[in-house]
Amino acid sequence: MPIDCGLTRIEPEGLDIVIYIKDINKFYQNDQLIKRIASAVRKRVFIRSDPTFLTPAEDSMGIIKNLIPAEAGVTEITFNPDFCEVNIEALKPGLVIGKGGLTLRAIIQKTGWAPNVLRAPTMDSSTIRGVRKSLLRDTAARKKFLLALGKKICTPVPKSDWVKITALGGYQEVGRSCTLLQTPNSKVLIDCGINPDTSDNTRTYPYLNAMGLEPEQLDAVILTHAHLDHSGFIPYLYAYGYDGPVYCTTPTRELTILLQMDYINVLNKNTDQGAPYGVKDIQKQLTRMITLDYWDVMDITPEIKLTYYNAGHILGSAIAHLHIGEGLHNLVFSGDIKYGYSKLFDQSVTSFPRCETLFLESTYGGRDDVQANRFDSDKKLFSLILETIKRKGKVLIPVFSVGRAQEIMLVLEEFMAKKPEYNFPVYIDGMILEASAIHTAYPQYLRHNIQMRILSNDSPFESHIFETVKTDRRDIVDGDPCVIIAPSGMLSGGPSLEYFRMLADDPKNTMLFVGYQSALSMGRKLQRGQRDFPMLGEDGKMQTVKVNMQIETVEGYSGHSDRHQLLSFLKNIKPKPERVFTLHGDEQKCDDLARTINRMMRIEARAPMDLDAIRLK
């Protein structure tokens, strides 16, 4: 650091190094200085003005507004004194940044405040608004947490000589994904989910009591994506003593909060025992969430580096690459992946720096799990919808709020644009609208054409064909022919279950499944032919619902890879792993995929069970 910059202090703030100086202008006289520092310390480096040299917030507000062009669509400017940052939320962040970052540099040089640019969603999102306000409100506590974490990560530890994993959930089953990774110095959880499709507590939650350690002994939680079978039990850790970080991508953070809040609301409303954790635990989790972009290489313990790669499954979903020790071991944890075409995302990445061990999801790993191509799927979907509309019926499409809902919305939006003569409403219910709004705040995670549409104020999620349910659901059921897209995707609760109860009796109606149905779900029972279900009626009394509506399944829209895509992913992965463990699939599918990998690719492969402990190194 040049002496005339006036260095005051250097802090390890979480995963980053933050340098505080008195004269920010002196620092920026050398364009290469920050690159040289980052290269030397091999970490992300941020430069901030010493707090005593910041321009008062009131004066800085006027300066910032004058520097940013009106076309940027700034929606909010907030100051964060604990981090010496100013958050600037805008519809067009590129105009806030300026060519080559000139506007950002002008802001920090004229005010001292380090600008943090946030994209505003094109649709109102109460989740994003709530997350950003909570993070701003709790900055003092978050600052204290990050400083303690930074010091811990920077503290050298003895060299490890072994690596072990323990399967705590999601092995030879779908749901409650949870894996404990241990070395002599580190204890890290990879995902910590629930099984939302069973009321049996022995099968709902991961086997955390088998860890042999208390939650406060964990160093970190790595979250691959937001779905509840991967994220739903993390707040429980905070309720029982954990105080460490949760690593995820930024959209995963927002979607996780959305799904967890809905989960506890549903449990508290519909069950006697209620949720296993509360809102305060989710809020504490939020203050401990540290977000990474794809390709960032970050130290999450003194000996473990984490890198996220696109998984192609849902918004922000990630494959986790872990580099342990100085080359001791490298493992890749797939999370849920899509190595195939979707309208929303590019397919999953297959290239990694090193990969000795691969943990591979097997949701569709069975020998018969081959999905139809998308052209045929679209053709079948439209045909079934049009047949139902023609006979004056309603089409119910149960979906996950995050992922399948947006994929089906894109399919229908494209179809209606090409066929304007078909004029029927498409109702969007439940959390789908909120989840879609979060997609518009992170277009960089979407396919290029969808990204460009959102940036051009032509978001497909705001098409005129979609109508948000604002009236009583009975009015829609009694109204004109329509399509209803509603969560949950497996009929485990939510609006789809209420629509099902009201629509099931009429043979003119159709139920269209477009996503995975777990072995214990009502959706799977319907697919297998069950036609009588005991359910609570509108009067609150138990009744038997007779299913006369048409039940159809349209394959090809899943966010998971089918068998061919999983094998193709393995054939293309670089470098080739030395061993593969299959998980996140029914018992037979995990076993069958492991045997096939072993036979076809000459790679050691097997399907561990829950509670298995395996030494990797």
Distance in angstroms (rounded) separating the CA atoms of residues 388 and 1? 71
Single out the residue in 514, 536, 553 at which a domain terminates: 553
pLDDT at residue 237 in the model: 96
449 and 580 co-located in one domain: no
Report the distance separating Cα 508 and Cα 497, nearest Å.
Answer: 18
pLDDT at 488: 85
Enter the pTM of the model: 0.93
Beta bridge partners of 351: 574
Q: Which domain CATH number covers 73?
A: 3.30.300.20
If residue 428 lies in a helix (H) or strand (E), which one and from where to where? strand 426-428
> Does 457 share its domain with 379?
yes
**Same domain membership, residue 572 and residue 548:** no
Q: What tokens does 178 get? A: 């949870």
Tokens of 544: 């038997």
Any domain includes 133 = no
Return the pLDDT at 29.
85
Q: Which residues is 563 bridged to in the sheet?
A: none
- CB-hemisphere CA count at 13 Å for 364? 26
Domain-ending residue, one of 506, 525, 553 = 553
- Supply the pLDDT for residue 11: 94
Both 335 and 405 in one domain: the answer is no
178 and 327, same domain (yes or no): yes
Q: How large is the average pLDDT for residues 123-132?
A: 95
- CATH code for the domain in which residue 404 is found: 3.40.50.10890
- Do 557 and 580 meet the contact criterion of CB atoms below 8 Å apart? no
When pLDDT is averaged across residues 18-27 and rounded to a whole number, the result is 92
**Where do we find the tokens 């739903």?**
232
Last residue of a domain, one of 503, 527, 553: 553
> Is 316 a member of any domain?
yes
Lowest-confidence pick of 48-62, 519-533, 602-616: 519-533
Q: What is the pLDDT of residues 334-344, one digit of tens each?
A: 999 999 999 99
How far, in Å, CA of 457 to CA of 463, rounded? 11
CB 596 within 8 A of CB 612: no
Considering the domain architecture, whether residues 60 and 191 belong to the same structural domain is answered as no
With the C-alpha atoms ordered 137, 141, 143, 145, is the resulting torsion angle positive or negative?
negative
Q: How far apart are CA 315 and CA 331, in angstroms?
A: 23
Q: In what order do the strands lie in the sheet with 16-21?
A: 7-13, 16-21, 44-49
420 CB-contact burial (10 Å; exposed 0-12 / middle 13-18 / buried 19+)? exposed
**CA-based R_g, the chain, Å:** 25
- 3-state DSSP helix/strand/coil percent for the chain, to nearest 5? 40, 25, 40
Q: What is the pLDDT of residue 534?
A: 86
**In the predicted structure, residue 270 carries a pLDDT above the cut 90:** no
Q: Are strands 466-468 and 329-333 parallel, antiparallel or unpaired?
A: unpaired
Which residues sit opposite 319 in a β-bridge?
Answer: 309
Q: Quick one: pLDDT band at residue 578, thresholds 50, 70, 90? A: very high
Distance from C-alpha of 350 to C-alpha of 448, rounded to nearest angstrom: 19
Is residue 154 over pLDDT 80? yes
What confidence score (pLDDT) does residue 71 get? 94
pLDDT digit string, tens, across residues 357-403: 999 999 999 999 998 888 999 999 999 999 999 999 999 999 989 98
Q: Is residue 135 part of a domain?
A: no
Whether residue 581 lies inside any domain: the answer is: yes
Q: Do the beta carbons of residue 249 and residue 316 sit within 8 Å?
A: yes
Same domain, yes or no: 484 and 534: yes
- Give the residue-averaged pLDDT of 206-234: 94
Q: Say if 112 falls within a structural domain.
A: yes
User: Is pLDDT of 523 > 90?
Assistant: no
Residue 602's Cβ-side half-sphere holds a number of Cα atoms within 13 Å equal to 0
More confident of the two residues 537 and 157: 157
Q: Same domain for 529 and 575?
A: no
Assess if residue 132 is contained within a domain.
no
| Structure tokens, 80 | 């964060």
Element (H, E) at 100: none
| Pure H helices in 271-356 | 279-287
Q: For residues 171-190, give the mean pLDDT.
A: 96
Instruction: Take residue 40 and report the two structure tokens written for it.
Output: 């030397």
Count of alpha carbons within 13 Å of 407, Cβ hemisphere only?
A: 30
Angle between helix 279-287 and helix 139-153 axes, rounded to 10 deg: 60
Domain co-membership, 95 together with 145 = no
601 close to 408: Cβ distance less than 8 angstroms:
no
467 in Cβ contact with 423 (< 8 Å): no
Residue 32 is predicted with a pLDDT of: 87
Q: Is the pLDDT of residue 415 over 80?
A: yes
Q: Tens digits of per-residue pLDDT, 305-337? A: 999 999 999 999 999 999 999 889 999 999 999
Tell me: pLDDT of 198 over 80. no
- Write down the pLDDT at residue 280: 96
The stretch 187-216 carries a mean pLDDT of 88
Judge contact between 163 and 328, C-beta under 8 A.
yes
Range of the domain at 83: 3-126
For residue 210, pLDDT over 90 is answered with: no
Q: What is the CATH number of the domain that holds 187?
A: 3.60.15.10
Question: Which has the minimum average pLDDT: 20-34, 281-295, 585-599?
Answer: 20-34
Alpha helices (H) in 539-586, listed in sequence order: 563-572
pLDDT interval class at 493 (50, 70, 90)? confident
Q: Please name which of 610, 612, 616, 613 lies closest in space to residue 203, comparing C-alpha atoms.
A: 610
- Please count the CA atoms within 13 angstroms of the CA of 289 that sit on its side-chain side: 28
Residue 598 lies in a domain: yes
Q: Please indicate, yes or no, whether residues 258 and 324 belong to a single structural domain of this protein.
A: yes
Residue 260 and residue 209 share a domain: yes
Residue 129 has pLDDT above 90, yes or no: yes
d(CA 587, CA 592): 9
| pLDDT above 90 (res 1) | no
For residues 549 and 565, state if they share a domain: no
Q: How many domains does the chain have?
A: 3
